[in-house]
Amino acid sequence: MPIFEYKCQSCGQEFSKLVFNSSEEIKCPECGATDVKKKLSAFSSSFGDTSSTPSCGTGSGFT
């Protein structure tokens, strides 16, 4: 059950939501609008670039 980040197109509110079902309707917690866009998370956009990402161990990362 992933957590996604969204931005409301009506009021501009940015929020995170735990999504249980991919067909679930997402509503803005601020204004209740359903016109929201999923944001690209920092983790998924920098997955292949390990040069500036701190690591948890002594491994060399991806090879």
Measured distance CA(20)–CA(50) in Å, rounded: 30
Domains of the chain: 3-44 (2.20.28.10)
pLDDT in tens, the chain (63 residues): 788 999 999 999 999 999 888 888 999 999 999 999 999 866 554 445 555 555 565 555 555
- Is the backbone of residue 50 left (phi > 0), alpha (psi -120 to 50) or beta? alpha
SS3 45: helix
Predicted TM-score (pTM) of this structure: 0.60
